[in-house]
Structure 1
Amino acid sequence: MKLIVFGHRLELGGTQVNAIELAADLRDRHGFDIVFHAAPGPALDLVAAHKLIYSPAPDVRLHPSIARIKALRALVQREQPDLIHAWDWWQGLEAYSGVHLPMGVPLVISDMMMSLTRAMPREVPTTFGFVEQRDRAVRAGWRHTHLLLPPVDVDANAPGIGDGAAFRARHGVRADEIALVSVSRLAKVMKSEGLVRAIKVVGELGARLPLKLVIVGDGEARAELQHMADVVNARLGRDAVILIGAMNDPRPAYDASDIVLGMGGSALRGLAFAKPLVVIGERGFARLFTPKSTDGFLQSGMFGIGDGGAENLEMEEALDTLCQSSETRHALGEFGRSFVVKYHGLEAVGDGLAQVCHEAAMARPQLTQTLRDACRTSYYYLRERRFRVASRDRHVKP
């Protein structure tokens, strides 16, 4: 099967890594002929490392984009694919309106966002990243839904794979310090709130606990976070919070950590390194990943929404608990590793995606259903003014 994987800008984000790793898995284990189509960015190195055939897409700010649709149509005419796999709603709309409807090329959309996008077509096979979101889609009228849990390459992300000791030495993390590591895009929407709260918590707990928060990543919120870190460090009289910028390969950071703080794919990769995890979200959400909390995270994804209060008691309690006992940290880390292997292993997720792709390529939707769905999609798109900026922070509620 020839498959065009249609992604967004190749930034260092969870969805981009998922798309790249799953594309390589479909090629290597299922014999797919893959062309990866996305705007260039730092994650292009990962595309090259997986030896994927790459076709650049225009890098634009507004979606749907005529330039991107033209580029995709030209690629389809040249490659004659059996299927297009579009990641996220803006690629989905461009592929749907520009290729699927006028050219009849089968389409699968993967929507990894945290809430439903009503302007998406409901007759196109669509995957969702957690159980609760898939169930919402079914209730809202999507007829071909599938669960695609975020995958983790548990062989490439495992204890000892990254040189954690060298990372600690390079960034001045002493042996007696408890390294709290976060790997994240420093976006002002969704991503940075948890880090703002984490810096505040380290400022509170750091007077009595040897916590050192290491923030790996870059983005428009970096200056604000650096200012907060400077204030906390001055008050504590030590470098309790450091920002080291983005890493193309953050595995040494995960390996160096004693505790991981994160959401989504970053949280899962931390678990793959057998590290205890505090899952963060929006409005102050913070929860320790334990055997008791796994069912909830399988249902709602590695994310949550708090009550919006100014206090950070949940995060403080979770970190305090982990700092008190290295045995607790080790036990929770081992449990987290087994959880990721069981539910999020790349091969298991790739097998499911391969089946979805084969079914979508063979499906022949009825014309009346297609026309009705196209009208409904156009109505919702125009009503909700979907012609908007799709920046790198768009993994949030639209």
Structure 2
Amino acid sequence: MKVLVYPHAMELGGSQLNAVELAGAVRDLGHEVTVTSEPGPLVQRVVDMGLEHLELPAERRRPSPVTVRRLRSLVDERGFDVVHGYEWPPGVEAYFAAGRRRDVAATCTVMSMAVAPFLPADLSLAVGTAQIRLSVLEERFQRRAGGGRHAGRGFDPGLVNLLEPPVDLAANRPGHPTAAFRAQHGLDDPADAGLLDVVVVCRLVPELKLEGVLTAVDVVGDLARELPLRLVIVGDGSVREQVEARAAAANERAGRRAVVLTGALGDPRPAYAAASITLGMGGSALRALAFGRPLIVQGEDGFFELLTTESSRTFLRQGWYGLGGDGTATLVRILRELAADDARRKDLGDFGLHLVTERFSLEGAALLQEAIYLDALERAAGQRPQAAREAVRTVSGVVAHKVRRRRQRRRGTVATDDFNALTKRRTQR
């Protein structure tokens, strides 16, 4: 197959890292894979992997008829069999670029915590958790059930696939070198010998991340007066100054450098490997497991939970995230427990490494992705009686969404990561 992979962005982040790594793994199965995207830090990763990169303009509407035409011309010129968009705007553009051709298939992967309801129901879709897949299926079934004499027609659960965020276990593994990272960021000061580093790797943005990061800063700043803890925050973003200010206050309370901000790292593996304890959500949480360290899963509205044999069942169902909890009190309890017990930390780290190895390998995900592509091609070659109706519904849904966003911007309430912003509202129903 000839596959065109289209990530939604190219800054460091979970969905786009998955897109790039999975593109390379599918290539390694013997397929011809090309990546198209706007410029960004991850483009160099694409080039280093030996994948061809085709650039899209950074300043463009999303989704855009211009991008659809560009993708369609690439399909015509280069003979791509599959156009694969990550997150909803590239997914919509891939769908219209493929059109009704029987020799080209469109697929979409959504690793956000919510799926745009106007994505075409006849678009091959992959989501990252069993709970989200079930939610999409329920929504689509209800929509079809309310369709009068057409009720139930066109509902195809096989179009919604579960593809959990994969981890490259060859690249991410225990024992990765850390000396240069620790020296660069002053983590080896003799006065700090014996400190346990709690490492979080994330974008410093308001959506999803900020609340938990600020809670961790405050908690470690307070506990550092009695426990050998240090929080290392790896990442950058629009709220970095806010995090830095809170970290400065925490360090003043602790009387030492209890919170360290390193900025973004092109290669965060040394940070994961340097951790004694990891904190994170989504793909970052899974990547942390590959280094054999205990993991505290972060969510929103005060959610923190230690990964254990018991809690793993919840995360395998709903994803590496949660909503609601005691916030500060919970994180204090977990960090006290881990700081006091070396054997407990090792056992939990070993469990996490076993879990990610058995269930989240990149090689296994590549085989599943290959199967999704083949299924999408087979479906494209058949009859698609709902295609025209789905196209109209999707265009109407996108327009309505854009109008809502414009109104929100005028009120100053719009979120940048719009469908992740739906997570709380949908979960609380």
Query: How do residues 1-398 of structure 1 correspond to structure 2 at under 5 angstroms?
Result: 1-28=1-28, 30-60=29-59, 62-97=61-96, 99-101=97-99, 105-141=104-140, 143=156, 144-161=159-176, 163-173=177-187, 174-307=192-325, 311-363=327-379, 364-385=381-402, 393=417, 396-398=420-422
Is contact 1:64–1:93 with CA below 8 Å preserved after alignment?
yes
Q: Report the Cα offset of residue 33 of structure 1.
A: 0.6
Is contact 1:196–1:225 with CA below 8 Å preserved after alignment?
yes
Name the SS for the 1:293 alignment partner.
Answer: helix
Is contact 2:222–2:253 with CA below 8 Å preserved after alignment?
no
Letter in 1 for 2:401: E
Unaligned regions of 5+ residues in structure 1, if any?
A: none
Q: How many residues align?
A: 393
Q: Report the Cα offset of residue 387 of structure 1.
A: 8.1
Query: What are the Cα deviations for residues 125-168 of structure 1, in whole angstroms up to 9, with x where unaligned?
Result: 1001010011111112262111100000111100012x224433
> C-alpha separation between the residues in 1 aligned to 2:382 and 2:208?
37
Letter in 1 for 2:312: T
Is contact 1:57–1:72 with CA below 8 Å preserved after alignment?
no
Q: Report the Cα offset of residue 180 of structure 1.
A: 0.6
Q: Report the Cα offset of residue 121 of structure 1.
A: 0.7
Letter in 1 for 2:5: V
Q: Report the Cα offset of residue 67 of structure 1.
A: 3.5
Q: What is the TM-score normalised by the length of structure 2? A: 0.87
Name the SS for the 2:7 alignment partner.
Answer: strand
Is contact 2:207–2:416 with CA below 8 Å preserved after alignment?
no
Q: Report the Cα offset of residue 210 of structure 1.
A: 1.4
Letter in 2 for 1:44: V
Q: Report the Cα offset of residue 392 of structure 1.
A: 7.1
Unaligned regions of 5+ residues in structure 2, if any?
A: 141-154, 407-413, 423-429
Is contact 1:9–1:59 with CA below 8 Å preserved after alignment?
no
> C-alpha separation between the residues in 2 aligned to 1:9 and 1:190?
18
> C-alpha separation between the residues in 1 aligned to 2:16 and 2:254?
37
Task: Quote the sequence identity (%).
Answer: 38
Higher RCO (CA-CA < 8 Å; seq separation 6+) = 1
Name the SS for the 2:109 alignment partner.
Answer: strand
Query: What are the Cα deviations for residues 19-56 of structure 1, in whole angstroms up to 9, with x where unaligned?
Result: 1111111111x211111011110111211121111101
Distance 1:3 1:388, change over 3 A: farther
Q: CA RMSD in A?
A: 2.0
Distance 1:36 1:391, change over 3 A: farther
Distance 1:172 1:244, change over 3 A: same
Query: What are the Cα deviations for residues 182-238 of structure 1, in whole angstroms up to 9, with x where unaligned?
Result: 111111111221101111111221111111111111100100000000111112111
Query: What are the Cα deviations for residues 58-113 of structure 1, in whole angstroms up to 9, with x where unaligned?
Result: 2136311234223222322221211111111010112223x122656311111111
Q: What is the TM-score normalised by the length of structure 1? A: 0.94
- The structure with more radius of gyration: 2
Query: What are the Cα deviations for residues 239-270 of structure 1, in whole angstroms up to 9, with x where unaligned?
Result: 11111111111111011000011011111111
Q: Report the Cα offset of residue 359 of structure 1.
A: 1.1
Letter in 2 for 1:385: K
